[in-house]
Amino acid sequence: MILEITKYGHPVLREKGKRIDRITPEIRQLAADMIETMYAASGVGLAAQQIGQPLQLTVIDVSQSEQPWGMTPSLPQPVILVNPQLLHPAGEQVGQEGCLSIPEVAADIRRAEKITVRAQDLDGNNITFECTGLLARAAQHEVDHLNGILFVDRMDAATRVSLAGQLKRLQKETLATLGKPSRLRRALAKL
């Protein structure tokens, strides 16, 4: 099932994901829906916060991208990462990044060129792989999401200033769609 992607301004995007201690049928279904949602949106990664669930769960698939990437050992994609951790960042890459939760915004972001990912898969097995290029970028972007960090937080100051108006508008639009919380906000503003 294709899920709705939460947009910038939604508070769940700022929540740190809860660790997943048990792979339940619901978690499996969620991962399957996240993969479907990611492909439908032509994304290369999606974090649980982006479908409204603050959990340590993300899916990535860069296999169709023309940008260079590497993975050792090579695992089939999409990769489903439960409770992922990033280790041994090395080198540096600067490249254009976007986010399905922040439409029409792109900026150059500095990331490690190479990083090791350690996580569990949906069978509870530990998986570890080293990745480079776009896959390393995607892993860092998604693990940031799982910690409530967005790529706009990593832009340089000048870029952030130039995008401030656009982000403010998007945040306002998102809050307006949140229904009850936004009505509460309006009520409080009158006091």
* Residue 105 binds Zn ion (CB under 5 A): no
* Residue 99 binds Zn ion (CB under 5 A): yes
Single out the residue of 58, 57, 41, 55 nearest to residue 7, CA to CA.
Answer: 41
Cis status, amide bond into 68, omega within 30 of 0: no
* Residue 112 binds Zn ion (CB under 5 A): no
| Contact region with Zn ion (CB under 5 A), list: 58-66, 93-101, 112-120, 169-177 | 93-101
Cis status, amide bond into 76, omega within 30 of 0: no
CB 90 within 8 A of CB 50: no
Diameter of the chain measured on Cα atoms: 59
Phi, psi of 156 (to 5 degrees): -75, 160
CB of 178 to Zn ion, least distance (A): 19
Candidates 26, 92, 113, 142; catalytic one: 142
CB of 139 to Zn ion, least distance (A): 12
CB of 36 to Zn ion, least distance (A): 17
Which residue is listed with tokens 């996580």?
A: 119
* Residue 107 binds Zn ion (CB under 5 A): no
Site for Zn ion in 62-91 (CB under 5 A): none
Our answer to whether residue 142 is catalytic in this structure is yes
Active-site annotation, residues: 142
Binding site for Zn ion (CB under 5 A): 99
